[in-house]
Chain A
Amino acid sequence: MSNYIPTIGVEVHVELKTKTKIFSNSTNGYGEMANSLTNVIDLGYPGTLPTLNEEVINLAIKAATVLNCKIRREMHFDRKNYFYPDNPKNYQITQSRTPIGYDGYVEVEVNGVKKKIEIEEMHIEEDTCKSTHRGTKTLLDFNRAGVPLIEIVTKPCMTSGDEAKAYLEKLRELLFYCDVSDCKIEEGSMRADANVSIRKNESDPFGTKAEIKNIGSITNVAISINKEIERQSKLYDNGETFKPQTRRYDDKLGDTVLMRVKETGNDYRYFPEPDIPFVYVTDEMIENVVKTIPMLPDERRTIYIEKGVPEVNANKIVQNRSLSDYFNTLLDENTNFKIASNLLLGDIAAYLNKEEKLITDTTLTKERFVELIKNMEDNTLTSKNLKDILNKVLEETSSISEIIKASGIENITDDSAIREVIKKVIEENPGSVEDYKTGHDRAIKFLMGQVMKASRGSANPKIAMDILMEELK
Chain B
Amino acid sequence: MDDRLSKEEVLHVAELARIAISESELEKYQIQLKQIMDSVDKIKEVEVNDEKMLIANWSEPTKLREDTAGEMLNPKEVIGNAPRHSGNYIEVPVVIGEES
Interface residues of A (CB under 8 A from B): 18-20, 25-27, 33-40, 43, 51-57, 76, 81-85, 87, 131-142, 246, 259-260, 266-267, 269, 272, 274, 276-280
Contacts and interface: CB of A to CB of B under 8 A. Distances in A.
A53 B69 contact: no
B75 to A, nearest CB: 4
A136 B93 contact: yes
B75 A36 contact: yes
B78 A139 contact: no
29 contacts: A18-B67, A25-B65, A25-B69, A25-B70, A27-B69, A27-B72, A35-B78, A35-B90, A36-B74, A36-B88, A37-B72, A39-B70, A52-B62, A55-B67, A76-B55, A81-B16, A83-B18, A84-B95, A84-B99, A133-B95, A134-B94, A135-B94, A137-B86, A138-B92, A139-B91, A141-B88, A142-B90, A269-B16, A272-B53
B10 to A, nearest CB: 15
**Chain A, interface SS category:** loop
Interface of B: 16, 18, 53, 55-56, 58, 60-62, 64-75, 78-79, 86-95, 97-100
Contacts of A52: 62, 64-65
B73 A38 contact: yes
B52 to A, nearest CB: 13
A26 B93 contact: no
B61 A33 contact: no
A17 to B, nearest CB: 10
B72 A54 contact: no
Given A133-B95, A277-B56, A278-B58, A139 B89 contact: yes
Given A274-B55, A279-B62, A138 B95 contact: yes
Contact of A259 (B71, B90, B98): B98
A146 to B, nearest CB: 12
A70 to B, nearest CB: 20
Contact of B100 (A33, A54, A82): A82
Contact of A35 (B70, B88, B97): B88
Nearest to B66: A54
Contacts of B79: 35
B93 to A, nearest CB: 7
Contact of B99 (A27, A82, A135, A279): A82
A39 B94 contact: no
Contacts of A26: 69-70, 72
B68 A19 contact: yes
Given A43-B78, A267-B16, A277 B60 contact: yes
Contacts of A82: 99-100
A249 B35 CA distance: 49
Given A25-B65, A36-B88, A277-B61, 10 more contacts: A20-B70, A26-B69, A39-B72, A53-B67, A81-B16, A84-B99, A137-B91, A137-B93, A259-B98, A272-B55
